[in-house]
Structure 1
Amino acid sequence: MEQPAAHIKGRIFVSCKRENHYSREMILDQHALVYVFEGILELSYADQLHRFTKGTTLLIPCRQLGRLAKLPTDGVPFRSLSILFPEALIRKFYASDIDNPDGGKWTGHLALEKHPLLESLFSSLVPYFELQEELPPTLADIKIAECLTVLDACNPDVRRLLSTFNQPGKVNLLEFMEQNFRFNIPLEKFALLTGRSLSAFKKDFIKLFNTSPGKWLTQKRLEHAHYQIAVKKYKPSEIFIDAGFENLSHFSFAFKKHFGYNPTECG
Structure 2
Amino acid sequence: MADAFLGIVISAMATGLGAIPVLILNNVSPRLKSLLLGYASGIMMAATTFSLIPESLKSSDIWVLSIGMLLGTFALNFIHSKTEDLDTSDFKIFSGVDRKTLVIITAITLHNLPEGLSVGVSYGSGEENLGAIIAFAIGLQNAPEGFLVGLYLIHQKMSKVKALMIATFTGAVEIVTAAIGYFLAAEVAGLVPYGLSFAAGAMLFVIYKELIPESQEDHQVKFPTYSFILGLISMLYLTIHFG
TM-score w.r.t. the length of structure 2 is: 0.26
* Structure of higher RCO (CA pairs closer than 8 Å, 6+ residues apart): 2
Which structure: greater helix fraction? 2
Larger Rg: 1
TM-score w.r.t. the length of structure 1 is: 0.24
Which structure: greater strand fraction? 1
